[in-house]
Amino acid sequence: MSLMQVVKPKIRGFICVTAHPEGCAAHVQEQIDYIKAQKPLQGGPKSVLVIGSSTGYGLSSRIALAFGSKAATLGIFFEKPSEGGKPASAGWYNSAAFEKAAHRDGLWAKSLNGDAFSNEIKEQAIAIIKKEMPKIDLVVYSLASPRRTDPKTGISHRSVLKPIGAPFSSKNLDTDSHKVDEVTIEPAVEGDVENTVKVMGGEDWELWMDALEEAGVLAEGCNSVAYSYLGPEVTWPVYKNGTIGKAKEDLERAAQAIDALLKIKRGKAFVSVNKAVVTQASSAIPVVPLYISLLFKIMKAKGLQEGCIEQAWRLFSTQLYNDNFLNYDEAGRVRVDDWEMRPDVQEEVFAIWPKVNTENLSELTDYAGYQGEFLKLFGFGIPGIDYDKEVDIEVPIESLA
């Protein structure tokens, strides 16, 4: 099937409801090229499960491990194919482009599109691994979701981004109106913390690892990583000390439980704290877009700027593989947010923070860089793509076709 169409960005709040197939493919290829320009990983994994593999950190992890370690990858995601004359979601096009490039290079790659929180998807993943893959030697857990249905109770939980105990007011960038204003977020009400922990905490990661172990599909020395964020103090009321922070604490609890499970196999489980990047998940968090716009300006000026692919590569090449050791912090986490959190970077960001307003936004921050990254998530604004040309919006993901 084919359906030719001119695709333009349609931004609604913090989401773009269209995605450009060729632009998404170019974005994926850019990341593949970055990995191919690096030295291959020594002692890297050969059989990888990536849960949340279609966008952001999960996609970059999958690209880094497939092209940097020649790993077979099974990717799990929740994306929309093209339907009713509308383009597919960005993660769909990313995954189609990833598989095409992987298969072209002779790499085994399959995907499952469905709810990773469900028992069914876990069962389907295990069936594929048993039949077609060597035992798994790395599980990357990179889900970001606003809701989860608990497979045991059938209850649906919604996660919220709220402070705990008191309202939080902060300078904020409204990415819709491009205005710097003040935002006040009301505190969590009863059930918000529990629900957010249910969705974004570690329970599902544990369910995955238990199911994989029970099915006997984890290899000797299998490792597992899940991603987290801490960030600067200005975001703590709504992030680290807010409802999402409670969920991330639970992820750390789960890391310890899974670590105990994997230790028996001489493997390890850990949380990697990654840097702030523009993804569909982070653009939805109040205060974060303004912070990111400032952070990018400072990190670029210091030659420290990284996106998802550079972060994923640094984690795998300088910590997990190449005969390196994990460099744990005092809480047992791995930190690749170290450059973001460098005192000189943070001091410069917060020397500018009080001065930013709508008028000087472009001058004092890298809002243009933020917007460019945001559009790129959906395949727009990429040099070499003719956005006035019709493109086929019905792009199959080879393993799902």
Does the footprint of ligand NAD cover residue 293 (CB under 6 A)?
A: no
Of 140, 143, 63, 144, the C-alpha closest to 109 is 63
Percentage helix, strand, coil for the chain under 3-state DSSP, each rounded to 5? 40, 20, 40
| Lookup: tokens for 54 | 């279609």
CB of 230 to ligand NAD, least distance (A): 8
Question: Using CB under 6 A, which of the segments 34-42, 96-104, 221-229, 326-334 binds ligand NAD?
Answer: 221-229
DSSP structure string for 375-400: HHHTT-S-TT--TTS-EE-----GGG
CB of 203 to ligand NAD, least distance (A): 13
CB of 42 to ligand NAD, least distance (A): 26
Does the footprint of ligand NAD cover residue 144 (CB under 6 A)?
A: yes
Reduced to 3 states (helix: H, G, I; strand: E, B; else coil), residue 136 is strand
CB nearest ligand NAD: which residue? 56
Return the number of the residue (63 or 384) whose C-beta is nearest ligand NAD. 63
> Can you tell me which of 26, 29, 80, 115 binds ligand NAD, judged by CB under 6 A?
115
CB of 29 to ligand NAD, least distance (A): 18
Judge whether 129 and 155 are in contact, CB under 8 Å.
no
Does the footprint of ligand NAD cover residue 47 (CB under 6 A)?
A: no
The H or E element that residue 363 is part of is: helix 361-364
Return the number of the residue (69 or 280) whose C-beta is nearest ligand NAD. 280
Does the footprint of ligand NAD cover residue 79 (CB under 6 A)?
A: yes
Judge whether 23 and 383 are in contact, CB under 8 Å.
no
> Can you tell me which of 7, 126, 143, 193 binds ligand NAD, judged by CB under 6 A?
143
Cβ-based burial of 3 (10 A; exposed 0-12, middle 13-18, buried ≥19): middle
| Lookup: tokens for 79 | 């994306």
Does the footprint of ligand NAD cover residue 201 (CB under 6 A)?
A: no
Phi/psi zone of residue 218: left (φ > 0), alpha (ψ -120 to 50 degrees), beta?
Answer: beta
Q: How far apart are CA 381 and CA 370, in angstroms?
A: 12
Reduced to 3 states (helix: H, G, I; strand: E, B; else coil), residue 22 is helix
> Can you tell me which of 34, 205, 208, 227 binds ligand NAD, judged by CB under 6 A?
227
Phi/psi zone of residue 388: left (φ > 0), alpha (ψ -120 to 50 degrees), beta?
Answer: alpha
Q: Which residues of 175-195 are buried (b: 16+ CB within 10 A; e: fewer)?
A: beeeebeeeebeebeeebbeb
- How many residues bind ligand NAD, per CB under 6 A? 29
Distance of CA 152 to the CA centre of its chain: 26
Does the footprint of ligand NAD cover residue 196 (CB under 6 A)?
A: no
Phi first, then psi, for residue 171 (nearest 5°) are: -60, 145
> Can you tell me which of 18, 55, 61, 73 binds ligand NAD, judged by CB under 6 A?
55
CB of 381 to ligand NAD, least distance (A): 17
> Can you tell me which of 35, 64, 209, 277 binds ligand NAD, judged by CB under 6 A?
277
| Lookup: tokens for 120 | 């069914």
Return the number of the residue (119 or 358) whose C-beta is nearest ligand NAD. 119
DSSP state of 86: B
CB of 77 to ligand NAD, least distance (A): 4
Sequence letter at residue 316: F
Question: Using CB under 6 A, which of the segments 25-33, 35-43, 142-150, 152-160 binds ligand NAD?
Answer: 142-150
- Asked if 239 is an active-site residue, the reply is yes
Question: Using CB under 6 A, which of the segments 190-198, 208-216, 280-288, 340-348 binds ligand NAD?
Answer: 280-288
CA-derived radius of gyration, the chain: 20
Of 199, 184, 198, the C-alpha closest to 238 is 184
Return the number of the residue (67 or 77) whose C-beta is nearest ligand NAD. 77
> Can you tell me which of 68, 91, 267, 286 binds ligand NAD, judged by CB under 6 A?
91
DSSP state of 257: H
Of 239, 291, 321, 370, which residue is the catalytic one?
A: 239
> Can you tell me which of 34, 92, 117, 291 binds ligand NAD, judged by CB under 6 A?
117
Does the footprint of ligand NAD cover residue 78 (CB under 6 A)?
A: yes
Does the footprint of ligand NAD cover residue 279 (CB under 6 A)?
A: yes
> Can you tell me which of 52, 286, 289, 307 binds ligand NAD, judged by CB under 6 A?
52
User: Which residues make up the interface to ligand NAD (CB under 6 A)?
Assistant: 52-58, 76-79, 91, 115-117, 142-145, 227-229, 274, 276-277, 279-282
Active site residues: 239
